Structure 1
Amino acid sequence: MADEKKAEIAYKVMTAEQWNRLQTNGFFSGAPVDIHDGYIHLSTAEQLRGTVDKHFEGQVGLILLEVDLKAVGNHIRWEPSRGGALFPHLYGGLPMVAVGRHWALDSDRNGKVLLPKL
């Protein structure tokens, strides 16, 4: 996508434990890195491969969430990150009502996370 600001959907990778908490509480305050940075890290579909390769390779029990950016409204800021690309950052928690589809992620035998066709 040439202009990430036009994205209406973003993606969040989380652990199965975090996913279970989101389902139970109806709200996700963030992973430790999100809490440390002050926002929840999201990626567009085009950014997702780089995100999982950099931050999640070799991990198991991961869940991929589809996040409706319209549902979180003014809490999204598009800010430069990896390579200067604009990434969607969610300032505030992620409500369950903003989550669309979700997938359990598998890895290949080398630990590379396999992504679904989005």
Structure 2
Amino acid sequence: MNRNVFKILTLDEYRQLFPEGRAEPSAWAGTDFDLHDGFIHLSALAQVRNTANLFFKTHPSVKVLEIDWTKIQHQTRWECPDSGCSHESCGDPALDRPELVSGSRVYPHCYGPVELPTVVHAVHDYRQIDGVYPELL
């Protein structure tokens, strides 16, 4: 059972975060989109496919950071993407159990910098098949 959370990055965003020949940054506040919204957009494993197909359809390949949930849970809230909605109204099964959000409308939003590389469990190459992202794992 996977209890980690995931951050999808375009290849350009990934290259900016991990430029070849340079050390990884120690703290990261997110992509330009994340900075605009004030939090780092993340997904539970069960949400990665839909997130990729909704927001990264024009990118045939992306990188997915698998982040150790236990290292960021204190600065993460599970929220509905709809403004003004809370997890209670969405019926989230368990705010601290990312493996249970399969049918949930709430997503993990990290409010604070992510300490890299300590939180990154793995980096996955994620490619479309016939124009659609399949399940990640």
TM-score calculated relative to the size of structure 1: 0.78
Q: Is the Cα–Cα contact under 8 Å of residues 49 and 136 in structure 2 kept in the other structure?
A: no
Q: Does 1:94 align with 2:114?
A: yes
Deviating more after overlay: 90-99 vs 37-46: 90-99
Kindly indicate whether residue 70 of structure 2 is the aligned counterpart of residue 70 of structure 1. yes
For 1:73, the aligned partner's letter is Q
Q: What secondary structure is seen at the aligned counterpart in 2 of 1:34?
A: helix
The 2-side partners of 1:61 and 1:51 are apart by 14
Aligned partners of 1:86, 1:116: CA distance in 2, in Å?
A: 19
Quick one: distance in 2 between partners of 1:65 and 1:115? 15
- Look up the match of 2:52: 52
**Superposed displacement of residue 61, structure 1:** 4.2
Structure 2 unaligned residues grouped into runs of 5+: 19-23, 91-104
Q: Which aligned pairs between 1:12-91 and structure 2 lie closer than 5 A?
A: 12-23=7-18, 24-81=24-81, 84=90, 85-91=105-111
- How many residues matched? 111
Unaligned residue ranges in structure 1 (runs of 5+): 1-6
Work out whether residues 105 and 115 of structure 1, in 8 Å CA contact, stay in contact via their aligned partners in 2: no
Structure that is richer in strand per residue: 1
| Residues 116/50 of structure 1: CA separation in 2 closer, same or farther (3 Å cut) | closer
Equivalent residue, structure 2, for 1:9:
4
Backbone CA RMSD of aligned residues: 2.4
Percentage of pairs with the same residue: 25
| CA–CA distance in structure 2, aligned partners of residues 58 and 112 of structure 1 | 10
Q: Which has the higher helix share?
A: 1
CA contact (8 A) 2:48 2:136 kept: no
Q: TM-score, normalised by structure 2?
A: 0.69
1:32 deviates by 1.8
Structure 1 stretch displaced more, 27-36 or 49-58: 27-36
Q: Distance in 1 between matches of 2:27 and 2:62?
A: 18
1:75 shift after superposition = 0.7
